[in-house]
């Protein structure tokens, strides 16, 4: 059994007086794709943000390749390169071209002029024609793909995706999901918070249904979607798969 890429145990997180994660245990193995599903406010996004230290965890452990990054005072800067994240709202830097958005972090953090590598990434995701454009000049789907390229340019071993298709027009969702498919084929370890049930069912190794700050049910997609065990899971799936 290889060491898990990510191992969370007893993760708790509160915002003020409200506890939004009530002790999460989750293991993600190398090359696995795990989808977090659940209603808005169930804690999916917060859980993702705890996995890369963007939100400090109140209690519990987050082990990334065996190292507990939730240790208070842990220097997160070096591990950010190992774990990339893409947000729902793209968060591209509006004053830089698509290429500069991608090239900034490799240049400043890795001290590397990664031009050939970055151009290859744009090529791979069908965006070569848009490298010199500014985010405002790109469609939502194109912006989100640039955001994925920007994260990939740091050569992460793990990628987190926080509802990355939720802000897109329906006809643009497909092109972004194709990007995820291609990452899946390359064997990237991925954790997604998503509302795309069809996509999760087709590609995920494992589905975690989150409800009110806990993982209520966890299992292979076929089991979760066809034969859920918990009442809460059934109710949620009935409401989204009408």
Partner 1 sequence: MTTRRAAYEARQRRRANLLAGGSTAVVLVLLIVLVPLAPGWEGVQASFFNAEIFARTFPDLLSAFLINIAIFAWSVPLIAALGLAIALARGARAPVLFPLRIFGAIYVDLFRGIPVVLLVYLVGFGIPGLGLPRPWNSPYIWGTVALVLTYSAYVAEVLRSGIESIHESQRNAAVCLGLSERDTMRYVVLPQAIRRVVPANMNMLVALQKDVALLSFIGPVEILRQAGIFKSLLANFTPYVAAAVIFLCVTVPATRYADYLMNRDRNART
* Contacting residues toward partner 1, per CB under 8 A: 52, 54, 77-78, 80-81, 84-85, 87, 89, 91-95, 104-105, 108-109, 150-151, 154
* Residue 105 Cβ vs partner 1, minimum distance, rounded to whole Å: 4
Closest alpha carbon to 176 in 208, 155, 146, 218: 146
Q: With respect to partner 1, which residue has the nearer C-beta, 143 or 233?
A: 143
- What's the closest the beta carbon of residue 238 comes to partner 1, in angstroms? 34
The least distance separating partner 1 from the CB of residue 91, rounded to whole angstroms, comes to: 4
Residue 15 or 93 having the CB closest to partner 1: 93
Cβ-based nearer residue to partner 1, 96 or 214: 96
Q: Quote the least distance from Cβ 204 to partner 1, whole Å.
A: 23
Sorted by sequence, the CB contacts under 8 Å of residue 219 that are 6+ apart come out as: 206, 207
Pairing of strands 83-86, 158-162: parallel
Please, which residue, 154 or 237, has the CB nearer to partner 1? 154
* Cβ-based nearer residue to partner 1, 9 or 88: 88
Minimum CB separation from partner 1 for residue 48, in Å? 11
Among candidates 1, 4, 11, 23, which has minimal Cα distance to 51?
11
Place of tokens 């997604």: 192
Residue bearing tokens 């498919």? 181
**Residue whose tokens read 């076929």:** 222
Q: Quick check: 28 and 4 in contact, CB under 8 A?
A: yes
What is the C-alpha to C-alpha distance for residues 92 and 109, in angstroms, rounded to an integer?
18
Is the Cα dihedral 226, 230, 236, 242 positive or negative?
positive
């Amino acid at each position: 059994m290889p060491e898990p890429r990510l191992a969370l145990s007893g993760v708790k997180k509160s915002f003020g007086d409200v506890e939004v994660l009530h002790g999460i245990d989750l293991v993600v193995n190398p090359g696995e794709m795990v989808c977090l599903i659940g209603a808005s406010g169930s804690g999916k996004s917060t859980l993702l943000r705890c996995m890369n230290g963007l939100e400090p965890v109140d209690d519990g452990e987050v082990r990334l390749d065996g190292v507990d990054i939730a240790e208070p005072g842990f220097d997160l800067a070096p591990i950010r390169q190992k774990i990339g994240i893409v947000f729902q709202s793209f968060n591209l830097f509006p004053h830089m071209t698509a290429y500069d958005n991608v090239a900034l972090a490799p240049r400043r953090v890795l001290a590397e002029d990664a031009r050939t590598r970055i151009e290859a990434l744009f090529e791979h995701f069908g965006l070569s024609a848009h490298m010199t454009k500014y985010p405002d000049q790109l469609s939502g789907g194109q912006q989100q793909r640039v955001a994925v390229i920007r994260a990939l340019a740091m050569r992460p071993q793990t990628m987190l995706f926080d509802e990355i298709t939720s802000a897109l027009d329906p006809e643009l969702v497909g092109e972004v999901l194709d990007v995820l498919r291609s990452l899946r084929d390359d064997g990237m370890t991925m954790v997604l918070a998503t509302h795309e049930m069809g996509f999760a069912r087709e590609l995920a190794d494992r589905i975690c249904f989150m409800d009110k700050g806990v993982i209520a049910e966890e299992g292979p997609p076929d089991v979760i979607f066809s034969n859920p065990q918990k009442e809460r899971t059934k109710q949620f799936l009935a409401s989204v798969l009408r």
